[in-house]
């Protein structure tokens, strides 16, 4: 079988609002992304995933889509998008776009019509509510002036579609065609385990992502992805889809990754695992045993950056662990998803002033939760403030960058062999060369306490999560390490790639 491009791909998530601003309004845009394509090529990723850039009132950073076939003026024009796709392809980068099928914006023409009483069956309107909560806090129901309520599993500005209405199916197939015709290589599907809700909308005692939930992962959703897969397969060039699927088991996750459904699903178990060899091993074993095409992810625009997560457990270790976790992840069979800024070792920005915050999580929790703005702070490209090269001239970015971003900027790290950026570049270049030669399977090697050793053909990866140094496994050459080695010892919070000729 020919290996599809996405099987081992490294995909780089671009949170468009925060990547690069070309227009000078303090918000990132598509032309900003286009100008930075050489940076991404040099970084060594295979594809980019663009978060939503569609017309939107931005009640949830663009995950509230008012027009699925356009570009918000904040981010550019459809021509800008087409130029970006053309240039990305010329740079050898594939392009995935985000598709948001669980809900639209309250400003979508269908919802505006529904408020006027037309076509309410495209959404979920009821005379009475149930006890479901919005993921962002508060009730999942909002009342409209005539007394009915509509369901929104996220912000009130994000009404949930009624996928029991065939019109919704036809509309989304058409939206997919629209972007496929513009050359996109695939889709990241937002809340892919949402869409259908249990008939009768029963009350729940627990709204977490678990098997048999009335809220998430209803079996009917698989029919949608079978239809989408059929459509993808009519296009040339291995177009694909990756689902944002939150589940509590790898078996549930695997239900989305089937020969006639999605090619991939995000595997959040890796991101949720603590810094522990047993936890890592269990996630790897579960995933490889159940999911035919694995993915790995440490950070994205919804979670605390992994450098800061690791630091919270053991202050001072965050960056070393983040680098070691990355090297371990890149050695695993499957595809890896990176989040912009992790290659700079950016931490979560935890001290944003309240008045700068924009995430609905902050507002819907009445300020009790900080929300996700801390991982969405614009990228520092250069040393100099005010925007560290994010925006042209003296424009302030939409979220303030902390002074520490100067030291973490691309300009500062480029050419410094010790920097996290140069480490990512070396790791991605080495991986690109290796994946062609090593098997998709993984073999565990005997590991000392606190450490995890495994091999894939001639590649051996060792990560030390323990408190003291461990002896390196047998090898012929050290290919790369996430931090300094001490002769043949692997220090704590460090990972290494070794070549071993059998
Ligand atoms: C998941 C997205 O990644 C997140 O940013 C968004 O708030 C929710 N889905 C709702 O669309």
SS (H, E, C) 316-349: CCHHHHHHHHHHHHHCCCCEEEEECCHHHCCCCC
Q: Region 53-61: what's the mean pLDDT?
A: 98
Q: Which residues contact 203 (CB under 8 A, 6 or more apart)?
A: 130, 131, 132
* Residues paired with 193 in a beta bridge: none
* Residues paired with 59 in a beta bridge: none
Catalytic, out of 13, 60, 72, 244? 244
Catalytic, out of 80, 190, 261, 493? 190
Same domain (yes/no): 458, 415: no
- Domain presence at residue 2: no
- Please tell me whether residue 436 adopts helix, strand or coil conformation: coil
Residue finishing a domain among 405, 431, 457? 431
Q: Region 230-259: what's the mean pLDDT?
A: 96
Nearest ligand 1 atom to alpha carbon 60: 7
Ligand 1 pocket mutation pick from 54, 61, 63, 216 by most atoms within 8 angstroms of CB: 63
Tokens of 435: 């994946």
Alpha helices by DSSP H, 20-63: 30-35, 37-43
Q: Which residues contact 63 (CB under 8 A, 6 or more apart)?
A: 51, 52, 56, 98, 100, 154, 158, 190
> Tell me, what CATH number does 466's domain have?
2.60.40.1180
pLDDT recorded at residue 203: 96
Tokens of 479: 């290919």
pLDDT recorded at residue 47: 98
Question: What number of CA atoms fall less than 13 Å from residue 89's CA on the CB side?
Answer: 11
CA of 157 to the centre of ligand 1 (A): 13
Q: Outline where DSSP puts E strands in 201-246.
A: 240-243
Same domain (yes/no): 20, 142: no
In the block, residue with structure tokens 């999580």: 361
Please say if the pLDDT value at position 416 is more than 90: yes
- Domain presence at residue 390: yes
Closest-CA residue, ligand 1 atom 6, reads 63
Please say if the pLDDT value at position 154 is more than 90: yes
Same domain (yes/no): 491, 378: no
Q: Region 416-430: what's the mean pLDDT?
A: 98
CA of 52 to the centre of ligand 1 (A): 10
Same domain (yes/no): 98, 114: no
Residue pLDDT, tens place only, 311-368: 998 999 999 999 999 999 999 999 999 999 999 999 999 999 999 999 999 999 999 9
Ligand 1 pocket mutation pick from 51, 104, 191 by most atoms within 8 angstroms of CB: 191
- Domain presence at residue 320: yes
Residues with CB under 6 A from ligand 1: 60, 63, 100, 154, 190-191, 244, 301-302
User: Any catalytic annotation for residue 190?
Assistant: yes
- Domain presence at residue 3: no
Q: How would residue 212 be classed by pLDDT, with cut points 50, 70 and 90?
A: confident
Same domain (yes/no): 97, 130: no
Please say if the pLDDT value at position 415 is more than 80: yes
- Domain presence at residue 228: yes
> Tell me, what CATH number does 125's domain have?
3.90.400.10
- Domain presence at residue 487: yes
pLDDT recorded at residue 63: 98
Residue pLDDT, tens place only, 174-198: 999 999 999 999 999 999 999 999 9
Q: Region 286-306: what's the mean pLDDT?
A: 97
Residue finishing a domain among 387, 407, 431? 431
Same domain (yes/no): 448, 339: no
CA of 244 to the centre of ligand 1 (A): 9
- Domain presence at residue 178: yes
Q: Which pTM does this prediction carry?
A: 0.98
Residue finishing a domain among 431, 451, 469? 431
Nearest ligand 1 atom to alpha carbon 154: 10
Question: Measuring CA to CA, which residue among 27, 45, 159 is closest to residue 91?
Answer: 45
Q: Region 355-382: what's the mean pLDDT?
A: 97
CA of 101 to the centre of ligand 1 (A): 11
Residues 290, 145: Cα–Cα separation, whole Å: 48
Same domain (yes/no): 397, 340: yes
Structural domain including 241 reads 10-102+173-431
Same domain (yes/no): 184, 304: yes
The count of structural domains within the chain is 3
Residues 244, 324: Cα–Cα separation, whole Å: 25
- Domain presence at residue 391: yes
pLDDT, mean over the chain: 97
Instruction: Say if residues 126 and 151 touch (Cβ distance below 8 Å).
Output: yes
Nearest ligand 1 atom to alpha carbon 100: 11
Burial of 426: CB neighbours in 10 Å, binned 0-12, 13-18, 19+: middle
């Amino acid at each position: 079988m020919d290996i599809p491009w996405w099987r081992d791909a490294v995909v780089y998530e671009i949170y468009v609002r925060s990547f690069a601003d070309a227009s000078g309004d303090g918000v990132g845009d598509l032309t900003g992304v286009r100008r930075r394509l050489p940076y991404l090529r040099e970084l060594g990723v295979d594809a980019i995933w663009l978060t939503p850039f569609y017309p939107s009132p931005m009640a949830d950073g663009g995950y509230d889509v008012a027009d699925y076939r356009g570009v918000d003026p904040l981010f550019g024009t459809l021509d800008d998008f087409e130029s970006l796709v053309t240039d990305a392809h010329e740079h050898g980068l594939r392009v995935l776009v985000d598709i948001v099928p669980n809900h639209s914006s309250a400003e979508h023409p269908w919802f505006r019509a529904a408020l006027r009483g037309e076509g309410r069956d495209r959404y979920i309107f009821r005379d009475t509510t149930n006890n479901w909560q919005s993921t962002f806090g508060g009730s999942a129901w909002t009342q409209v002036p005539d007394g009915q309520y509509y369901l929104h599993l996220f912000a009130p500005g994000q009404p949930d579609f009624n996928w029991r209405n065939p019109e919704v199916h036809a509309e989304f197939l058409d939206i997919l065609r629209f972007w496929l015709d513009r050359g996109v290589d695939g889709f990241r599907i937002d809340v892919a385990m949402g869409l259908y809700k249990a008939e009768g909308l029963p009350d729940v005692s627990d709204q977490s992502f678990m098997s048999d939930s009335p809220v998430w992962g209803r079996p009917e959703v698989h029919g949608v992805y079978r239809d989408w897969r059929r459509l993808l397969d009519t296009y040339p060039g291995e177009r694909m889809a990756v689902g944002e699927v939150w589940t509590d088991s790898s078996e549930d996750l695997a239900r989305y990754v089937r020969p006639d459904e999605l090619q991939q699903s995000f595997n959040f178990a890796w991101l949720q695992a603590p810094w522990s060899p047993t936890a890592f091993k269990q996630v790897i074993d579960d995933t490889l045993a159940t999911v035919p095409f694995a993915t790995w992810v440490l950070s994205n625009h919804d979670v605390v950056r992994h450098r800061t997560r690791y630091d919270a457990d053991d202050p001072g270790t965050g960056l070393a662990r983040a680098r070691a976790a990355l090297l371990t992840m890149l050695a695993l069979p499957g595809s890896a998803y990176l989040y912009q800024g992790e290659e700079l070792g950016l931490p979560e920005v935890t001290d944003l002033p309240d008045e700068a915050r924009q995430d609905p999580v902050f507002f819907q929790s009445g300020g009790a939760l900080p929300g996700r703005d801390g991982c969405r702070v614009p990228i520092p490209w250069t040393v100099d403030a005010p925007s560290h090269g994010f925006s042209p001239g003296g424009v302030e970015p939409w979220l303030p960058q902390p002074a520490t971003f100067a030291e973490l900027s691309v300009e500062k790290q480029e050419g410094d062999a010790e920097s996290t950026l140069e480490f990512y570049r070396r790791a991605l270049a080495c991986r690109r060369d290796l994946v062609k030669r090593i098997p998709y399977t993984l073999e565990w090697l005997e590991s000392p306490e606190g450490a995890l050793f495994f091999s894939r053909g001639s590649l051996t990866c060792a990560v030390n999560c323990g408190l003291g140094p461990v002896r390196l496994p047998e090898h012929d050459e050290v290919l790369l390490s996430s931090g300094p080695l001490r002769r043949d010892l692997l220090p704590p919070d460090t990972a290494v790639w070794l070549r071993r000729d059998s």
